[in-house]
């Protein structure tokens, strides 16, 4: 009995050993299979799906750990039979995205452009506006805007004085209060410019003028500037030319009776006295007069060497035509620049314009480098063969001065622009520009150009650095032409 029990125990033990061995083998296989499942490490920078494929034995348990920048995510799957299992987990992780927005373009710089665009002076106003538009185009399209203000573009706000001083003043106020301009250019006629600049001064808005009356810069204003040669230097040059350059001893002074003409008249008489030029006849007349022969017959009787005239376009043309008609002969006819647009005068006066002289701002044949650049830019905009007139050059130069000040001010604040204008130092088409305490260009007399009609076209005779011709004097009598 003991032997049977012992045998049974032995069989039981053997069976247990076999089971243990089998279990060990299974466990070992499971362990080996589990050990062959390598951890997966994934760094996630946005919402994504991570997929891993693992082959497992029956009964094995696989643990897959994803290492990311958030707490680990554990996925556990139990397999009951040998199978290839795909474990998929979706991991959401916050993502920081940096977006650089396109900068908003700077606000345009609004500039008032105030000139006569209707009425008798409209052709002169239109010429100024074309010159200003060219200067703005250069800033906007060549420079790419004002470089010191992030490429801000110039926006011109054009207004019409209608050749009326009251309208000029009200339009100046509208430009400032409604349109919010930071500077004004204008207004050709002194009668319009005087009240318009009063408005600008009251509001503290810089005004670079294109008008000649000495009172425009003679009132102690701080916001009014003038770049081109005004009435004083052009009048003085007319007298000096007759006496000191051509060497004549007598003259007649004839001026129309507007504010501009009266200032020319008084200054010419004063300058003649200073330099010793004898005035044998002097007279004020109406620019609207249909007949100047009564005055011209007095001149003929006085026999001056030269006529010095302060005129506007229509009366200047009438004067030379009636001089020919009544055979009034002098050695020189000199128009004081400012009122007579040379190109229009030549067009209307025709052959009677030959040998006539004007003291003015500039002529298209000038040899100055800035002038040549101006002509090239003008023809690029307005057409090959097109030429700017003196009005266009005056508007252009005033705009160049204002835009230069805005660039140097690095601001659209009117006071900052005004302060920059006081420090202006540049060379433009008429020559150097630098302002005195009145806002007047210190080089007005030096920059005055002496132009003469020769061979049916205007040529520059002085200053020497701009000249392309020599003065022809004395002019031949009408009967010899």
pLDDT over threshold 70, residue 186: yes
Per-residue confidence (pLDDT) for residue 91, from 0 to 100: 53
Query: Does 87 score more than 90 pLDDT?
Result: no
Identify the pLDDT of residue 428.
96
**Is 101 among the domain residues?**
no
| pLDDT > 80? residue 221 | yes
Domain membership of residue 332 (yes or no) is yes
Clarify whether residues 171 and 198 are in a common domain.
yes
Q: Identify the CATH number of the domain in which residue 326 sits.
A: 3.40.50.2300
Convert the pLDDT of each residue in 426-477 to its tens digit.
999 999 999 999 999 999 999 999 999 999 999 999 999 999 999 999 999 9
66 shares its domain with 204: no
What pLDDT does residue 44 have?
A: 40
Model pTM above 0.85:
no
Task: Write phi, then psi, for 306 (nearest 5 degrees).
Answer: -145, 160
Residues 78 and 177 both lie in one domain: no
Q: CA-to-CA distance for 8 and 400, rounded, in angstroms?
A: 122
Indicate whether 270 and 350 sit together in one domain.
Answer: yes
Count up the domains in the chain and report the number.
3
225 and 115 co-located in one domain: yes
Domain-located, residue 102: no
Res 64 pLDDT > 90: no
State mean pLDDT over 139-157: 97
What's the pLDDT at 8? 40
Sequence-separated (6 or more) residues with CB below 8 Å from residue 180: 110
| Tokens at 133, concatenated | 């538009």
Who has greater pLDDT, 63 or 188? 188
Residues 166 and 312 in one domain: no
Instruction: Identify whether residues 156 and 264 lie together within a single domain.
Output: no
Q: What is the pLDDT of residues 252-274, one digit of tens each?
A: 999 999 888 998 999 999 999 99
Query: With 80 as the cut, is the pLDDT of residue 101 above it?
Result: no
Q: Specify whether 212 is located in the same domain as 337.
A: no
At residue 80 the predicted structure's pLDDT band, cuts being 50, 70 and 90, is low
pLDDT in tens, 301-356: 999 999 999 999 999 999 999 999 999 999 999 999 888 889 889 999 999 999 99
One domain, residues 281 and 424: no
Domain span holding position 70: 53-91
Residue 395 lies in a domain: yes
Please tell me the predicted confidence (pLDDT) of residue 339: 82
Residues 314 and 370 in one domain: no
**pLDDT, position 89:** 53
What is the rounded average pLDDT of the residues 173-189?
97
Is residue 31 assigned to a domain?
no
Kindly state whether residue 298 falls inside one of the protein's structural domains.
yes
Q: How much of the chain, in percent, has pLDDT values that exceed 90?
A: 72
pLDDT at 122 over 50: yes
pLDDT band at 17 (very low <50, low <70, confident <90, very high): very low
Domain membership of residue 27 (yes or no) is: no
The answer as to whether 378 is a domain residue is yes
Residue 175 is predicted with a pLDDT of 98
pLDDT at 74 over 70: no
Clarify whether residues 63 and 180 are in a common domain: no
pLDDT (mean) for 145-167? 97
CA quadruple 411, 416, 417, 422: dihedral sign: negative
186 and 298 inside one domain: no
């Amino acid at each position: 009995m003991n032997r049977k029990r012992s045998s049974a125990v032995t069989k039981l033990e053997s069976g247990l050993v076999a089971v243990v061995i089998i279990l060990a083998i299974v466990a070992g296989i499971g362990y080996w299979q589990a050990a062959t499942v390598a951890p997966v490490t994934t760094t996630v920078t946005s919402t994504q799906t991570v997929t891993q494929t693992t082959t497992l034995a029956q009964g094995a348990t696989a643990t897959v750990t994803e290492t990311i920048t958030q707490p680990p995510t554990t996925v556990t799957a139990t397999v009951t039979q040998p199978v290839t299992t795909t474990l998929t987990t979706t991991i959401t992780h916050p993502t920081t995205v940096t977006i650089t927005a396109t900068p908003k373009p700077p606000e345009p710089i609004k500039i008032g452009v105030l000139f006569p665009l209707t009425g008798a002076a409209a052709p002169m106003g239109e010429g100024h506006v074309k010159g200003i538009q060219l200067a703005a185009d250069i800033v906007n399209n060549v420079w790419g805007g004002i470089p010191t203000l992030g490429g801000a573009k110039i926006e011109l706000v054009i207004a019409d004085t209608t050749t009326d001083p009251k309208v000029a003043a009200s339009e100046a106020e509208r430009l400032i209060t409604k349109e919010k301009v930071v500077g004004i250019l204008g207004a050709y006629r002194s009668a319009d410019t005087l009240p318009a600049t009063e408005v600008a001064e009251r509001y503290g808005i810089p005004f670079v003028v294109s008008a000649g009356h000495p009172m425009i810069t003679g009132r102690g204003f701080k916001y009014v500037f003038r770049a081109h040669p005004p009435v004083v230097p052009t009048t003085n040059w007319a007298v000096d030319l007759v006496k000191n350059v051509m060497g004549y001893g007598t003259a007649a002074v004839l001026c129309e009776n507007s504010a501009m003409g009266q200032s020319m008249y008084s200054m010419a008489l004063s300058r003649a006295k200073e330099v010793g030029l004898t005035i044998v006849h002097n007279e004020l007349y109406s620019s609207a007069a249909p007949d100047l022969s009564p005055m011209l017959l007095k001149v003929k009787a006085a026999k001056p060497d030269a006529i010095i005239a302060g005129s506007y376009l229509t009366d200047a043309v009438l004067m030379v035509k009636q001089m020919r008609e009544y055979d009034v002969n002098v050695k020189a006819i000199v128009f004081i620049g400012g009122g007579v647009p040379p190109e229009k005068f030549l067009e209307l006066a025709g052959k009677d314009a030959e040998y006539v002289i004007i003291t003015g701002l500039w002529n298209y044949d000038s040899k100055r480098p800035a002038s040549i650049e101006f002509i090239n830019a003008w023809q690029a905009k307005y057409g090959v063969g097109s030429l700017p007139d003196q009005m266009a050059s005056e508007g252009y130069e005033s705009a160049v001065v204002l835009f230069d000040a805005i660039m140097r001010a690095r601001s659209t604040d009117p006071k900052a622009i005004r302060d920059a204008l006081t420090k202006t130092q540049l060379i433009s088409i008429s020559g150097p520009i630098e302002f005195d305490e009145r806002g007047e260009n210190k080089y007005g007399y030096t920059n005055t150009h002496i132009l003469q009609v020769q061979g049916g076209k205007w040529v520059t005779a002085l200053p020497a650095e701009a000249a392309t011709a020599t003065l022809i004097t004395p002019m031949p009598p009408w009967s010899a032409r």
